[in-house]
Amino acid sequence: MQPIRKRVAGHRRRLRAAGLSPVQIWVPDTRRPGFAKECRRQSLSLREDPAEQAALHFMGEISDWTDD
């Protein structure tokens, strides 16, 4: 079995050969103190927002909930 570094390098080479490139995405740390409280605050601030309601309705309409 190859060392992990060589396997990862080979995997990345194959992905690049397929025309893909890596992207790094930074997301909020869900373990950070106050994260849940801030999520709740933001959610509540959108509760009556017409644009948010329209976006949620749109997402529900275009979602495919079938198992096909």
Amino acid in the structure at residue 48: E
| Sequence-ordered alpha helix ranges (H) in the chain | 4-17, 35-45, 50-62
Residues 22, 12: contact at Cβ < 8 Å?
yes
pLDDT number for residue 1: 74
H or E, element range at 40: helix 35-45
pLDDT number for residue 65: 81
Which residue has 């079995």 as its token pair? 1
* SS3 call for 24: coil
Tens-digit pLDDT string for the chain (68 aa): 789 999 999 999 999 999 999 999 999 999 999 999 999 999 999 999 999 999 999 999 999 888 76
pLDDT number for residue 20: 97
